[in-house]
A and B are shown apart, each in its own frame.
Chain A
Amino acid sequence: MAAAQVVRSEWTKIRSVASTVWTLSLAVVVTVALGILISLLSRHEFDNLSRTERLSFDPTFVSFAGMSLGQLAMIVFGVLVVSNEYSTGMIRTSLAAVPQRGTFLFSKLAVATALAFGVGLATSFVTFFLGQAMLGEHRAAIGDPGVLRAVIGGGLYMTLIAVFSMGIAAILRGPLLSLGILMPFFFLISNILGNVGATEKVGRYLPDQAGSSIMRVVTPVDDDTPYGPWGGLGIMALWVLAALLGGFLSLKKRDA
């Protein structure tokens, strides 16, 4: 079975369902709109900040604030790409056509990942430039040290969130179960763990907490994070690999 055939087939699948369009559009709109809003608010708040807060002020990171909500749409995208197969029963038709389950899963993931990366990267650039425009004199420039890395990193972050969700969905199969675990995890639990003193040291190894360091340019004044931006993204990538491995084994071993 030529993998190229399967990739083409998966591309047809992904472009021919409405959920692809609405989840990805939602991710773009929410991330950009919220980024603009928070950048605007930050500009007006800047004068009220303390000295240390001003030193820690990271205009690049501020413009990416919308991602905390926009990533939820990316999660829905990732989950639906995989679990649609199960909830509709299509998986049996699909695996009858492509019985090599590894080829099937990784072709699907390759197509969805490429799409998520394209959309994520575009979102990241748009939200950066519009956010900086709102920040006025406090803005960062794309040529400043570390800024381009952060902006490209924003695209990578959104992609990895989507891929992680695909892996989890491949393990859990059902869309409701997958979303029921991923949404509260990324929206609530991870934030709580990362911001409560006692659990902070563990919390920062969670995929989103670690991964989002790639979007930081200015290190906060009293920061003791033991990894840098790429280290953080690497930790996130390890989570993603683990999820993918779990998804692959689950698909390989279990009856369809």
Chain B
Amino acid sequence: MIELEGLTKRYGEKVAVNNLSFAVRPGMVTGFLGPNGAGKSTTMRMILGLDRPTAGDVRIDGTHYDRLKDPLTYIGALLDAKAVHGGRSAFNHLLCLAQSNGIPRARVHEVLDTVGLTPVARKKAKGFSLGMGQRLGIAGALLGDPRILMFDEPVNGLDPEGIHWIRTLMKSLAAQGRTVFVSSHLMSEMALTADHLVVIGQGRLLADTSMADFIQRNSRTYVRVRTPQPEQLSDVLAAAGITVLRTGDGAFEVDGGKAEHIGELAARHQVVLHELSPQQASLEEAFMRLTAESVEYHAHSGAGDVPAARAWGEGWKGEG
């Protein structure tokens, strides 16, 4: 269990993390979602005591990180896969971590095996591919067999096989009753792995909800219809008591409507259809809508602009 209370981090003028309070519970994967610069990595660094909070508090199983005896046996983290000395072999990298926390040498071989790096254990880390580096970082996180695991964007830059491997790993760790806290800026990725969601934007908490709830609230199903006779179709549908939404490109969106029903109506009234397709609004859109609201300055956002498109990059633009 990780508990944050009013956690705040300021870098000079910049408020990177703003009064965050939430708890990460065991037995499930908690997704930590936010656009670039939202403050995910900063929050994770504070959890590990690497950065000092400007205000607020964070506890691991009720204790401050620097009070944990052999912390790697409580919480294992992968923050940055490149945070290794490239001249050191994978084995020695893990060995020095193990020794510092009183973890037996045999465990190093075990985790190397788990992540599939045994054949290159004696090779220098600087020769590793992105995926191998990520696996080494994960081996380091698993080293102390901790009850809590934390990963900062673990699938970044991985190929589909690597992504699948990490997804499966996280789910199985949670199924063993462990606390799994994983950050991402891809809602679609989280939808596949996370049971719980914490969304932040501009350092502030935007949502702390179960994944199922989030999907239920945000997944809108509709039917998309295109026709060269928009006036007729709109009359026909109105007569049948179906409300439509006209989109910019001359198409209709019919909320909750059945495609079959609309097709039959059109046929009966001899309206030509060019498209009739059931749609589901993506969670990605829901996520972007959510985080776009956190952007303070919607500078010159003209009518019809997609707020999310404008929001992208607001977090880091102009910070140099």
Binding site for B on A (CB under 8 A): 1-2, 5-6, 8-10, 12-13, 16-19, 84-85, 88-100, 255-256
Question: Contacting A8 at CB < 8 Å: which of B69, B83, B86, B99?
Answer: B99
Q: List 10 A-B contacts (CB under 8 A).
A: A1-B69, A1-B100, A5-B100, A13-B85, A18-B87, A88-B85, A89-B80, A90-B83, A90-B84, A95-B48
Binding site for A on B (CB under 8 A): 45, 48-52, 65-66, 68-72, 77, 79-80, 82-89, 92, 95-102, 140
Instruction: With A1-B70, A9-B96, A97-B100 as known contacts, state yes or no: A17 contacts B79, CB within 8 Å.
Output: no
- The residue in chain B whose Cβ has the minimal distance to the Cβ of A15 is B92
How many Å lie between the Cα of A98 and that of B99 in the bound state? 11
Q: In the assembled complex, how far is the CB of residue B99 from the closest CB belonging to chain A, in whole angstroms?
A: 4
Q: Which 5 A-B residue pairings sit nearest by Cβ, starting from the closest?
A: A9-B100, A89-B83, A16-B92, A99-B66, A9-B99
How many Å lie between the Cα of A12 and that of B79 in the bound state? 23
How many Å lie between the Cα of A99 and that of B50 in the bound state? 8
Total cross-chain contacts (CB, 8 A) = 90
Interface centre among A90, A96, A98 (most CB of B within 10 A): A96
Q: What chain B residues lie within 8 Å of A5 (beta carbons)?
A: 99-102
A256 and B92 contacting across the interface, CB-CB below 8 Å: no
Instruction: With A5-B101, A12-B96, A92-B79 as known contacts, state yes or no: A97 contacts B84, CB within 8 Å.
Output: no
B100 and A16 contacting across the interface, CB-CB below 8 Å: no
Q: In the assembled complex, how far is the CB of residue A243 from the closest CB belonging to chain B, in whole angstroms?
A: 23
Q: What chain B residues lie within 8 Å of A1 (beta carbons)?
A: 69-70, 100
How many Å lie between the Cα of A96 and that of B48 in the bound state? 6
How many Å lie between the Cα of A94 and that of B140 in the bound state? 11
Q: What chain A residues lie within 8 Å of B96 (beta carbons)?
A: 9-10, 12-13, 16
B65 and A99 contacting across the interface, CB-CB below 8 Å: yes
